Amino acid sequence: MNYTLNQLKIFLKVVQTESVTKASEELYLTQPAVSIQLKNFQDQFDIPLTEVVGRKIYITDFGKEIAEAAENIINQVHAINYKTLAYKGRLTGKLKISVVSTGKYVMPYFLSEFMKEHTGVELNMDVTNKYQVLESLENNTVDFALVSILPTTQNIEKLDLLQNKLYLVGSSNLDIKKRSSTKEIFENLPLIFREKGSGTRQTMEKFFADNNISVLKRMELSSNEAVKQSLLAGLGYSIMPLIGIKNELQNKELQIIPIKELPIKTTWSLIWLKGKKQTLVSAAYLEFLKKETSNIVNSKFMWSELY
């Protein structure tokens, strides 16, 4: 046996995702690189670890046992690394954050310098929909959550990070005729919605209700990226967070359609359960944000003031 720690990590990720493609995405590797390392690892065993039926990969019972052993080995390696750094007086441990899907355009900028400064901290950031984010917070499985709409049923504390602005957006190739009223615009334009449970959708629906606007519902999509690609293809229009369409606006692929009632303004906030006992890592991260948030906003997000 001559397998490497990297091969153990790759095999474990393939088992967890049941997909070479998904494993490569989560490991930030190319699919061929994952396939090669998976094959090299499996070749060291006389008993198959996986089997492919059609296009789907299945894990054998023996493979599941090896995956469990691999996970134990990887955890022990992490423990050794943590102990070594802790002995040197370095900050070590895990930082667990759950982020609503559009927040993926925001959160990395508020993590980058902290992670560079504290190399012994392991980041676990889950990007999902609002309901699951709040569920993970309620179950106390994360340190923090990033949301643009504060929950009303949970007792929380918060730290505001960045203003969130939402505009009506469509393809630059579409000719938008000026109409006499906001109601006419929304009654005639085909709109694309996010899925139920999305914070963006909740914001859109509140806007329509507050302004007594009827809309022609055209399509429902489950991610901000899917909505953006549909807009680029000219399938319709949507109210979208400015933060997720920076490049498309600058490249003049998408256009903001002027509506006097827009933008809708909310706030990106980092939240946590009130009274939660912070770990050394999460407490250090909060202190970092309290000192650096304004600097991060000024250096990374001033472009949004142009809109």
DSSP string, 167-204: EEEEETTS-----S-HHHHHHHSEEEEEPTT-HHHHHH
Residue 86 pLDDT > 70: no
Can you tell me the distance from the alpha carbon of 168 to that of 176, in angstroms, rounded to the nearest whole number? 12
One domain, residues 105 and 144: yes
**What is the total count of domains within the chain?**
3
Tell me which of 87, 106, 124 is where a domain ends: 87
The answer on pLDDT for 68 being more than 80 is yes
Output 149 or 183, whichever has higher pLDDT: 149
125 and 242 part of one domain = no
75 with 135, same domain: the answer is no
**Domain CATH number, residue 219:** 3.40.190.290
Pair (236, 299) in one structural domain? no
Q: Are residues 100 and 153 in the same domain?
A: yes
* pTM higher than the cut 0.85: no
For residues 256 and 174, state if they share a domain.
yes
56-59 vs 50-53, strand pairing mode: antiparallel
Give me the CATH number covering residue 77.
1.10.10.10
Domain boundaries, position 294: 93-162+267-306
Residue ending a domain, among 87, 114, 130, is: 87
Question: Domain end: 87, 104, 130, which one?
Answer: 87
Mean pLDDT for the stretch of residues 20-44: 88
Examine the domain organization and report whether 221 and 254 are in the same domain: yes
